[in-house]
Amino acid sequence: SAFHDGFMRVHNGDYPSSRPLVSLYDFGDDTNSIGDVYQTAVAAGADLVVGPLGRDAVASLMSQSTLNVPTLLLGSSNTEHTSNAFFVDLSRRSEALSLVTHARARGLENALVLYTLTKANKAAADTAVQAWQDQGGQITDTVIVDSTRSDFSEMILRMLGLSHIEAQTNALQNTLGDTLPLTVVPRIRRDLDVILLFADQKTARLLKPQIDFHHAGKLPIYSQNTVFTGTPDPVNDLDLEGVLFSDMPWVVRRTGRFERSGKMLTDAKRYQGFGIDRLYALGMDAYRLACEIQILPHDSIRQVSGASGTYFLQADGIEKQPDWVFFRQGIPEPLPPVILR
């Protein structure tokens, strides 16, 4: 419903002479019927299809049916290039790749990877590790974070190399005895430039202050938009101070074209503060992308600055660039753009 409402919001605001006739085909939860539904739509005269939405639904369509007309697919693009297929990749894998590209473009080379043991976070971490190495970076370590715990001191001391220093200090103190007390200034391992964190918001809020406490507060920490609900919460998000992540302009911009004014939000109010607000933004952009696909010259690139990101369209696919932000005083603030090398 959120996606459909976003799509129709832009459709209804378009010039009457430019609006396409839109028909909705709802296959419910029956992904096995998607191929038949698609062919029914094409047989009824559809000259462009938007959807389906979701990784499993996209995979089901690709395995069942030949795409007879240009089709905007909203899910994972882990398939070979197919004629008439235009993917908007919504996967955590795609977000992880974007994260790596952004961090490497800033010259960060030695990365420590932390992740909680969920299927999505492990897949994102694995993708990031491989991409980081492919782009010439070094992975110093990968660490599984136990999300059932609240005290990560032991893990942090170990991964930052501080436990080794503590052991050496204790051994030396035992040798010298109590007559000559030692004062040691802890220093984290030197082969660290950045931490890549793949975790839920609750775990990230617990982990970040403890990393700061253990003398690693100056290390940049990249994460995913799982650390932000879409609704500013400056009191609780103070614990995420400095964490960088990417998200949709519709969610993180507070000024300019996507400023969340009362007029802009009248028909989106019921989605505000929920994850599905991102689907509303995606629906708005899907309409714009669909219109561009229909008139896209074969050898050209079109740019669409949308609510869910900046899109670059060409005949062989779609590339999306999100907004990059960081928490400052508990509020996502724009990060200065990086000039990609």
Edge to edge, the sheet with strand 317-321 lists 302-305, 310-314, 317-321
Supply the pTM of this predicted model.
Answer: 0.84
pLDDT of residue 263: 47
Asked whether the bond before 337 is cis by omega within 30 degrees of 0, the reply is no
- The number of beta carbons lying within 10 Å of the beta carbon of residue 305 is 13
Report phi then psi at 339, rounded to 5. -85, 110
First-residue to last-residue Cα distance in the chain: 40
DSSP string, 23-80: -----TT-GGGHHHHHHHHHHTT-S-EEEEESHHHHHHHHHH----S-EEEEE---S-
What is the distance between the alpha carbons of residues 67 and 42, in angstroms, rounded to a whole number? 9
Q: SS3 for 300? A: coil
Closest CA relative to residue 313, chosen from 326, 327, 328, 294: 294
Six-digit token pair at 176?
């010298």
Altogether, the residues listed in the chain come to a count of: 341
What is the distance between the alpha carbons of residues 330 and 239, in angstroms, rounded to a whole number? 7
What is the distance between the alpha carbons of residues 105 and 110, in angstroms, rounded to a whole number? 13
Contact (CB, 8 A) for 66 and 82: no
Per the listing, tokens 């609240």 go with: 150
Mean pLDDT rounded to a whole number for the chain: 85
Q: Over its length of 341 residues, how does the chain's per-residue pLDDT go in tens digits?
A: 889 999 998 999 888 888 889 999 998 888 889 999 999 999 999 999 998 998 889 988 988 888 999 999 998 876 667 888 889 988 888 999 999 999 999 999 999 999 999 999 999 999 999 999 999 999 999 999 999 999 998 888 888 875 555 555 555 555 556 665 655 556 667 788 999 999 999 999 999 999 998 888 889 999 999 999 888 889 999 999 999 999 999 888 877 666 654 445 556 666 666 668 889 999 999 999 998 888 777 777 888 889 899 999 887 788 899 999 999 999 999 987 765 54
Per the listing, tokens 């799982």 go with: 226
pLDDT of residue 272: 64
pLDDT of residue 175: 56
Contact (CB, 8 A) for 9 and 284: yes
pLDDT of residue 187: 65
What is the distance between the alpha carbons of residues 205 and 2, in angstroms, rounded to a whole number? 28
pLDDT of residue 314: 82
pLDDT of residue 294: 80
b/e map of 35-67 (b: 16 or more CB within 10 Å)?
Answer: bebbeebbeeebebbbbbbebebbbbbbebbeb
